[in-house]
A and B are shown apart, each in its own frame.
Chain A
Amino acid sequence: MSCTTLFEQVLDPDHRADPYPLFAQLRRQPVCRQADGTYVVSTHAEIARLVADPRISSEDLPDPQKFRWTGHPVTDLLVRPIRAEIRRRHQPFIFRDPPDHDRLRGLVMRAFSPERVRGMREETRQLTDELIDAFAEKSRIDLVDDFSYPLPVTVICKLLGVPPEDEPQFQGWATQLSTALEPNQRSDEATQAKNEQCFTEISAFLRDLIAKKRKAPGDDILSDLATGGDGAEDEPERMNDFDLIATAVLLLVAGHETTVNLITNSVLTLLRRPEHWERLARAPEIAPRLIEEMLRFEPPVQYRTRLAVADIPIQGVTIPKGAPVVLLLASGNRDPARFTDPDRFDPDRPDNRHLGFGGGLHYCVGAPLARIEAEVALVALARRLRNPRLVADPPPYRPGASLRGPRHLCLDLDGVTGA
Chain B
Amino acid sequence: MARIIVVTSGKGGVGKTTTSAAFAMGLAMKGYRTAVIDFDVGLRNLDLVMGCERRVVYDFVNVLNGEATLHQALIRDKRRDNLFILPASQTRDKESLTKEGVERVLNELAETHEYIVCDSPAGIEKGATLAMYFADDALVVTNPEVSSVRDSDRMLGILASKSRRAELGVEPIKEYLLLTRYSPERVRLGEMLSVEDVQEILSMHLLGVIPESKSVLGASNAGTPVILDEKSDAGQAYGDIVRRYLGEQVPHRFVEENKKGLLKRLFGG
Query: A and B: real partners?
Result: no
Question: Which residues of B come within 8 Å of A, CB atoms?
Answer: none
Question: Which residues of A come within 8 Å of B, CB atoms?
Answer: none
